[in-house]
Amino acid sequence: MSQFFLKGPVAIGSDHAGRELKYEITQHLHHKGFEFIEFGVDPFATKVDYPSVANLVCEAIKDSKAGFGILVCGTGIGMAIAANRHPGIRAVDCTSEFMATLSRAHNDANVLTFGQRLIGPGLALSILDVFVATPFEGGRHQVRVDMLG
Ligand code: RB5
């Protein structure tokens, strides 16, 4: 079993454009033994604004109710922009395992965003597996992360 360097519970949320991928991810998290707290989108809601969901996920992390977060929208871009407005949140919109590796090793990323219109579930789950299994390297990278506030 692989070691996880990010600990749960996981705060996970999506808007209407990321609903299906969020479901796939929650199934995967369950299979991996992660607890998760789910935010948005109500199954019966037609639309939800991505910043409102990103804010809920980031607040859960800042309140130590979750160890890290996952946000899904159409592109992952809006979710990352919204999440990165929160001090202490370092959100990355990853489309490759290499991005996931470096975002953890160098940036100590604590929120992973996905675009359901950009990548399929197979790649998303592979990126997620790399993200949780990659440690932050610290050292010179800690100095830079501290500068972010
Ligand atoms: C919603 O249509 C879409 O704009 C949103 O999911 C996201 O892609 C924004 O960045």
pLDDT tens per residue, range 81-133: 999 999 999 999 999 999 999 999 999 999 999 999 999 999 999 999 999 99
Report the nearest-CA residue for atom 5 of ligand 1: 74
Burial 118-145 (b: 16+ CB within 10 A, else e): ebebeebbebbbbbbebebeeeeeeeeb
Cα 48 to averaged position of ligand 1 atoms, centre (Å): 10
Q: Is the peptide bond before 9 cis (omega within 30 degrees of 0)?
A: yes
141 in catalytic set:
no
106 in catalytic set:
yes
Is 71 in contact with 83 (CB distance < 8 Å)?
Answer: yes
The per-residue pLDDT for 1 is 47
Structural domains in the chain, sorted by start: 10-147 (3.40.1400.10)
Of the ranges 1-5, 31-35, 69-73, 80-84, which one carries the lowest mean pLDDT score? 1-5
Average pLDDT on 7-18 reads 95
Q: Would the CB of 73 count as within 6 Å of ligand 1? A: yes
Report the nearest-CA residue for atom 10 of ligand 1: 78
Q: Which of 16, 30, 31, 73 is catalytic?
A: 73
pLDDT in tens, 36-88: 999 977 777 789 999 999 999 999 999 999 999 999 999 999 999 999 999 99
pTM, 2 dp: 0.96
Mapped onto helix, strand or coil, the DSSP state of residue 63 is coil
* Whole-number Å distance between alpha carbons of 34 and 125: 14
Q: Would the CB of 110 count as within 6 Å of ligand 1? A: no
